[in-house]
Structure 1
Amino acid sequence: MFIFLLFVVLCVQGKMRIKLNQLNSNNILLVIFTFLCLVDWAKSQWYDNYDIQCRDENNDPVDWYVIYKLPKLRQSSHKEVKKGGAYAYITSNEERDSWELSSLSIASPKSIPGNTLSQLYKLKDTDEVIYALYNDQPPNVKRNSLSAGHTKGLVVANKDGGFWLVHSVPHFPPDPKKSSYEYPGNAFKNGQSFLCISLPAKDLEVVGTQLMYNNPKVYSNFSAKVLQTLYPNLTMASWGKEIRTAPFQHEVKLTTPSGTEFKSFAKTSKFNKDLYNDWVADSLKVDLIVETWPNGIGRLNSSCQTSYKVENVDAMKIPQVGDDFTSKQDHSKWAIAFEKEKPWVCIGDINRATTQYHRAGGTVCMQNANIWSAYFDSITNIETCPVPKGFFRRTYS
């Protein structure tokens, strides 16, 4: 890197006398190609060493991104949808009001999660970094952790900041001490959700506080000693410290480097209520439409008994794909406001079920009309509220 910069400086100052008439066209092309390669290499080294952030498919840093991994739909004419590897996305660099369907599989190291997590897999224990990977269904573990929070994600940071990735994928991602980027074979079947947020150091330390409420099952962690004073809460969370005293829920604001604001909701196992109906809807002051895994025990119906309604998604269709699927095929966890006037979008951990009352976890919300439209336009049926016997469904088209 130093030699390359010195070379450029000398050229600019005219210290190197090169007679262009002595160079043939092939040599000139070789010099140009070498120069461009060195510029690209220098750029990658700069980002790899200094900017730990969410990344897009071009491997460029982004403030945030949202991903919808589609279920495996055998009837689809789309190759990756049929295999269960298709994903649609929106990033802060390419913000639009509809999903962009990727040409890559979610399993590709060049996918958006692959590029983002490549920063993790390049790290060494000598690097001045901190990271924590957590999942109530860790990689290579058959039994779920029922004592820890119902929460999945990871945090990676250096002294300047890093990223927080919230997702719904079991057994993901692999432990960086043992493996490289892979997408688990049993996670292709169902739909999944991802939210990545790039954050400065002070906000990632706040994430550490939220994780102590969420009580995650941490299966891989590292914290350089030099960073433990900068990130005391994140360090303690990665070591398994949890909040055991009231209040049993905590709401905070997080702000990305470019100024986008998020609200993080985190609850402990003692909250003992529905995350969405008893907290999030009331805090945001909006009716909610919620998509969570409906196949477990104690599923909650749509509810109208409180100040703000919470209704369950029943069926979806990503317009860019055109294949219908139901919530029973969708393991993602997201919620949106019922009306666009307050375009809240939340992505998180917790299902709407009585069994989740006693599980720690949470959700992260932002106001964004484009993302809201992408989700809302993908809903084809919801379970209306109130719910009579043999409930009928509200249909969207």
Structure 2
Amino acid sequence: MDNDNPELTPSDRGLDVKNDALFHTLDQIYNNKTEVGYFMYSDHTPDNRTGNDPRGHAKGVLGFEQSGGFWMIHSAPQFPPLRSDGYKWQEKASKNGQTFLCLSLDYGIFNRTGTVFKYIFPYIYDVGFPAMFNKDYPMLRLFSVDKGTRQLHVQKAPWYDVIKLPTKEGVSFLSFSKYGKFGNDLYDGLLSNELQQDLLVQSWIATQKTAGDKLPSNCSIQYKVYNVNIMRFPGKNIEFTTSKDHSKWVVSKDNGNWLCIGDINRQKPQKYRAGGQVCFQNKFAWNSFKKIVKDFEAC
């Protein structure tokens, strides 16, 4: 799915083939011999480190040069590899469903990702930050030298933020992010109210330590939030439960044409964990995700 074809389309090859959009996007970091800046962050790194609280439950990649750059938000654990190790798909991530969202941003907009970092407070496991970006990207520069000792996260309420991120092609995205001290679920505590829509939420529930960790669907609020139970791809005879899907995405339930992709789950412990979602309105993209929801948890 991309801006020219906003429909979910099954690929004829796997992600382990170095000839797809994911590879070509990240290859700009791995094989770029010019002055390229990048951040790789994850709560589950390629070498099996975990970014524990207060670091966010967040996975992504920033890549940028003087003409602009990209921000990739994803759900795949232990991916991508360090730049020095070269590109390789993480086969362990193939076991469950994953999502990837990539935004192409102009140079002047890119520093807004530094503000997002203050709230999602990511665990950065690989970084390259040429000095040429010091002046224009001051917040990202601070994160580039952070060794875990600096308190670069937001220091006072409100513990959440909403940032507009227009892409190079003029598509309007909204980044919703929260720091752990927000102390509430991102979805029923922020997102549904901001979008003013009932929401269907897909997130990872298989690793919840106890049954009490699960956040049930919430109909006690003005804009209701429902957990997705089962997904089915029409015409493809592919069906699976949310316990087989590691992705984290949201669609507005009935209208609004909202689709969000991010990296934090609907779990009680993650009320107190940093993370976020990036949302946009597109009728075709919204419908493409909404129609794969076969069943959701009623209140």
Q: TM-score, normalised by structure 2?
A: 0.93
Q: Can you list the C-alpha shifts for 1:249-298, whole angstroms capped at 9, x where unaligned? A: 11010101111000001111111000000101100110000000112141
Aligned runs of 1:265-284 on 2, under 5 Å? 265-284=176-195
Task: Indicate which of 193, 201, 205 corresponds to 1:294.
Answer: 205
Q: Secondary structure at the match of 1:198?
A: strand
Q: Secondary structure at the match of 1:101?
A: coil
Structure 2 distance, partners of 1:266, 1:345, is 16
Count of matched residue pairs:
290
Aligned runs of 1:141-160 on 2, under 5 Å? 141=48, 143=50, 145-160=52-67
How far the C-alpha of 1:320 sits from its partner, in A, is 5.0
Task: Indicate which of 205, 217, 230 corresponds to 2:111.
Answer: 205
Whether the aligned pair in 2 keeps the contact of 1:159 and 1:230 (CA below 8 Å) is no
Structure 2 distance, partners of 1:256, 1:363, is 16
Q: Secondary structure at the match of 1:91?
A: coil
Structure 1 distance, partners of 2:128, 2:107, is 16
Structure 2 distance, partners of 1:230, 1:189, is 40
Structure 2 distance, partners of 1:166, 1:223, is 19
Whether the aligned pair in 2 keeps the contact of 1:134 and 1:216 (CA below 8 Å) is yes
Structure 2 distance, partners of 1:253, 1:149, is 20
Q: TM-score, normalised by structure 1?
A: 0.71
Whether the aligned pair in 1 keeps the contact of 2:199 and 2:253 (CA below 8 Å) is yes
Whether the aligned pair in 1 keeps the contact of 2:230 and 2:294 (CA below 8 Å) is yes
How far the C-alpha of 1:247 sits from its partner, in A, is 1.7
Structure 2 unaligned regions, length at least 5: 147-151
How far the C-alpha of 1:170 sits from its partner, in A, is 0.4
How far the C-alpha of 1:94 sits from its partner, in A, is 2.4
Counterpart in the other structure of 1:228? 134
Task: Indicate which of 244, 250, 253 corresponds to 1:335.
Answer: 250
CA RMSD after TM alignment: 1.3
Whether the aligned pair in 2 keeps the contact of 1:335 and 1:347 (CA below 8 Å) is yes
Counterpart in the other structure of 2:149? none
Structure 2 distance, partners of 1:163, 1:137, is 21
How far the C-alpha of 1:321 sits from its partner, in A, is 2.6
Counterpart in the other structure of 2:265? 351
Whether the aligned pair in 2 keeps the contact of 1:292 and 1:331 (CA below 8 Å) is yes
Q: Secondary structure at the match of 2:218?
A: coil
How far the C-alpha of 1:230 sits from its partner, in A, is 1.2
Q: Can you list the C-alpha shifts for 1:43-66, whole angstroms capped at 9, x where unaligned? A: xxxxxxxxxxxxxxxxxxxxxxxx
Structure 1 distance, partners of 2:200, 2:81, is 32
Q: Secondary structure at the match of 2:80?
A: coil
- Give 2:47's aligned amino acid: N
How far the C-alpha of 1:201 sits from its partner, in A, is 1.6
Q: Who wins on radius of gyration, i.e. which is larger?
A: 1
Q: Can you list the C-alpha shifts for 1:55-85, whole angstroms capped at 9, x where unaligned? A: xxxxxxxxxxxxxxxxxxxxxxxxxxxxxxx
Matched, 1:325 2:240: yes
Whether the aligned pair in 2 keeps the contact of 1:243 and 1:268 (CA below 8 Å) is yes
Counterpart in the other structure of 1:380? 294
Counterpart in the other structure of 1:39? none
Q: Secondary structure at the match of 1:357?
A: helix
Whether the aligned pair in 2 keeps the contact of 1:192 and 1:330 (CA below 8 Å) is yes
Aligned runs of 1:49-88 on 2, under 5 Å? none
Structure 1 unaligned regions, length at least 5: 1-89, 387-397
Q: Can you list the C-alpha shifts for 1:105-163, whole angstroms capped at 9, x where unaligned? A: 11111122111111110134xx3222100001000125553441100001000122100
Over the matched positions of the two proteins, sequence identity in percent amounts to 35
Counterpart in the other structure of 1:16? none
Q: Secondary structure at the match of 2:230?
A: strand
Counterpart in the other structure of 2:278? 364
Counterpart in the other structure of 2:30? 121
Q: Secondary structure at the match of 1:132?
A: strand
Q: Secondary structure at the match of 1:381?
A: strand
Q: Can you list the C-alpha shifts for 1:323-343, whole angstroms capped at 9, x where unaligned? A: 110000000000000113x10
Aligned runs of 1:217-256 on 2, under 5 Å? 217-240=123-146, 241-256=152-167
Whether the aligned pair in 2 keeps the contact of 1:314 and 1:382 (CA below 8 Å) is yes
